[in-house]
Structure 1
Amino acid sequence: MTASQLESWRQTGMLPRHRRRGLGRGRGSVVDAVEPLVVESAAALARHLRQGRDRRLAVLEWFAEAGTPAAGVPGAARVPEPPVAAVREALVWVLQRSASQRLVEFARSAAGASEDGQDALYAAAGRLMGPYRGALNPALVRAALEAGGDVPAEAEGQDFKGMVHLVAAIALGAQEVGADALAEALAASGMFGLTVEDWAQMLGAAERGEGPEVDWGLLQQNADVVAQVQRASDEELVRARDVLVGLRMFYGLYMLHGLLLPDTPAQAALRQRIDE
């Protein structure tokens, strides 16, 4: 790294300065001690920033490794936290460019529009969500590989295109979409592992007044992930990161199980505990 890079990082608020002490009139200032926080922060930025790369992506990578020893550096100190303001800015920047957020914003613009506007919403959702599928079921993938056959279509879970109905409910209101379409959308989301029939039964009971009322306003509020990041406290952002990093280990375990990692009773018991 160069002195100009360090100064650039300081000016953007990503790197703190060493504390300096004045030497008296006309004699300038001096740093009495090199602060480890500044050194480790500069090292983290140097690991993730490179020419032509947006600094906000580097901030998110730094945020992901904060609190752990620097990878590949024996005896390294724990990586410090990046400035939370820079993390928030980077999260908002990335999320605003995501397909889901663009779809939510498009849906809001279609709210109150004519039937043509609603048709345009469904068409846009189909284009944006077309490439996405539900998560693979590692147990079904493993069984197919052990049998030497192809992975069955049901291993891919629900077709994610069904989520378009949930987007429409956010913009147009649940009453405009209907319980059957919403049941398909909620099943496609994979929430709680419930089927279309399970959701249809619960939503139908709510419509008839036979079950708890559904608060669709909560859905509309939580659909805007950018607003959630902007509302979250500094502590909530760090806590969310810690949860995500912790869940990553579970993901790795299931991936390796699907790819024929030798199984043991202890691993089976651990997967059962995770499922619960």
Structure 2
Amino acid sequence: MAESVLIATKYSITVCCAVALVENLLVIAVFAGTKKLRIKYYAFVFNLALADLMYAVLGIAIPWIRLFILDGLYATSYTVSILTIFCAAINRYLALSIMPPARYDSLVTKYRLIGVCVLLWCFALAYGLLTYLVASPTFEVFDAITSLGYSMVVFIVWVITALAYFLAFRKIKQYTPPLASTAGISANMERDQTRVRQTRRLLILFVLILVTAFFSWMPYGILSLIAYFNPYLYYDRTYVALFWVGTLLYTLSTVINPLLYWWRLDGFKEGFYALFCRCVIKAEPRETEVERSENENTVADTGV
């Protein structure tokens, strides 16, 4: 029974990763081909799509080909996705805390955000390759890093990320038109309401991504911790089958994320139809941006 579940789960992972591969390729194509989306507002969304794409590519082969280099790159991809969601939370909080928006704009530039994304990849790559190529021969050290250390660190990161989003939502409640009318910003009620709506929509998008990632990763993390305190489970076929089921659940997040972009990301549907169907869907009234001069910025222009 356990063997049948194991084989079925591995095939399911391969199928899910194939679907995620296609979806995230489409996401990257839409971002690359849509000028409206090529702003720093969506830098972390694009980075998350890249991480999910790498995870999907490797996930097709991982169930059937076990090489330490592939495992290291596999760990790199989901480490980047976790850290990207975390950085997006911190950045959203800063975008709502640093006032006026022009000050935030001068501190958090496009190139600095790109630099942060590059650093995330370098850190994750160093962790993945050093862990799976250097520490893997020593099982006790390898198990302590991947099962105990990694699981605990990821859980702590999730908690801090959730706290950052909670604080960001508290901030946005204070971000009302009277408070937004500081020096250098036009006291335009409609524009300020648009700023609040855009920020709230992006926050909701990343909260949905966070919840999806957390609940899809949690079974995998719990199983890793259980195995660390009871190493004999690694030789139990039932546990191995459950471990791969946990991997399958986490793989589902890479399939769900592009659907969340389609549902919640302003301009994504329009960009997709314009790129692949050569037609543009009119934006809903709630998504219509307020006209502004070249010197006026909404949160969509200044934040991520």
Q: Could you state the TM-score of these two structures normalised by the residue count of structure 1?
A: 0.29
Whose radius of gyration is greater, 1 or 2? 1
Q: Could you state the TM-score of these two structures normalised by the residue count of structure 2?
A: 0.27
Greater relative contact order (Cα < 8 A, sep 6+):
2
